[in-house]
Amino acid sequence: QLSDTQKMSESPLSRLRGMYLPRALHPLNKMLVNGGKWKDVDSAQEKRRSFLQDFCKKYNSRKKLQTHLVHLVSRIYVEDRHKVLYCEVPKAGCSNWKRVLMVLNGLASSAHNISHDDVHYGKHLRKLDSYDLKGIYTRLNMYTKAIFVRDPMERLVSAFRDKFEHPNSYYHPVFGKAIIKKYRPNANEEALKTGSGVKFKEFIQYLLDSHRPVGMDIHWEQVSKLCYPCLINYDFIGKFETLEEDANYFLQLVGAPAKLKFPKFKDRHSSDERTNAEVVRQYLKELSKEERQLTYNFYYLDYLMFNYTPP
């Protein structure tokens, strides 16, 4: 985030709210794509782009999002060598995407040699909000902007499993303790002390509570509020469900080295079954019909924007 001093020294334009970026749908530059094997991936890509464009035209005619420019771009990572902007959506392949960006930027020779901690806590990559206003606009207009998304319910269950079903020195004491205290009647002293053992139903009660005891978190925040897809014109929309082929096609589009492929490995808890539709079904069974509906409503925009089928 920009410091208060930097913000004050910026042009007054940077403090305006409701700044709208052009929504023109630019054709992808496919000059660097080799061979015809990407035909289906490219076709799917064009459909996603058109679908989102059409949705945003309809949506924005009814409701305007009023958001500060610096906040709009606060989740976007910058890779200047290949002119890439990547908006981080947690639990949709973001750890491996950051590894790839580090390799593209010359910070590592291989994505496979970069640890989880180095990816998330190493501060190797710059975010778009660290640039001045001119730097932000130049990159938004000139760079290839990518977003990778995932079925909202799968992403939610994946986040819950990762943060609450494994030891975690941040999510258990910060979120777990508050959730158990508010939503578990007669919680025992150990649970209140450690915050471990949060149940999925309790987590959903927290998520749906307009008076949450702790705030939101990027791992389960809506994509519409992380990346603002109706205000920022993303050139490439990848999906977790077709992650590998989408990612490798994107790498061709931006002229990445031929030897660089998107990593296949699971970043953490590699022995766990990957969260899929059947796993999600088991978790949703723990909720009442009303809770399931309200959870869907919570992610309604994400379902609509990216054309996901309701569970």
Of the ranges 16-25, 107-116, 231-240, the best mean pLDDT one: 231-240
Q: Which of the residue ranges 13-17, 55-59, 213-217 would you say has the lowest mean pLDDT?
A: 13-17
**Domain ranges for the chain:** 38-152+221-275+301-306
pLDDT, residue 121, reads 66
17: helix, strand or coil: strand
122: pLDDT strictly greater than 80 = no
DSSP string of 132-195? -HHHHHHHHHHSEEEEEE--HHHHHHHHHHHHHSS--TTHIIIIIHHHHHHH-TT--HHHHHH-
310: helix, strand or coil: coil
Average pLDDT over residues 100-104: 92
Q: Output 158 or 110, whichever has higher pLDDT.
A: 158
CA 210 to chain centre: 22
State both tokens at 60: 């924005």
pLDDT, residue 32, reads 72
The pTM of the full predicted model, rounded to 2 decimals, is 0.88
Which H or E run includes 151? Answer: none
217: pLDDT strictly greater than 50 = yes
Closest alpha carbon to 107 in 260, 279, 228:
260
136: pLDDT strictly greater than 50 = yes
Q: What are phi and psi of 236, to 5 degrees?
A: -135, 130
- Contact between 213 and 181 under an 8 Å Cβ cutoff? The reply is yes
> Tokens 């929309």, residue?
237
Q: What is the mean pLDDT of the chain?
A: 87
Q: pLDDT tens digits, residue range 13-55?
A: 333 344 445 456 677 878 777 777 889 999 999 999 999 999 9
21: helix, strand or coil: coil
198: pLDDT strictly greater than 70 = yes
pLDDT, residue 126, reads 94
> Tokens 């927290």, residue?
206
- Contact between 172 and 232 under an 8 Å Cβ cutoff? The reply is no
State both tokens at 288: 């009442």
143: helix, strand or coil: coil
Average pLDDT over residues 61-82: 79
pLDDT, residue 270, reads 64
Q: Output 105 or 32, whichever has higher pLDDT.
A: 105
pLDDT, residue 5, reads 43
Q: pLDDT tens digits, residue range 143-192?
A: 999 999 999 999 999 999 999 999 999 999 999 999 999 999 999 999 99
61: pLDDT strictly greater than 50 = no
Q: What are phi and psi of 17, to 5 degrees?
A: -100, 155
Q: Output 303 or 26, whichever has higher pLDDT.
A: 303
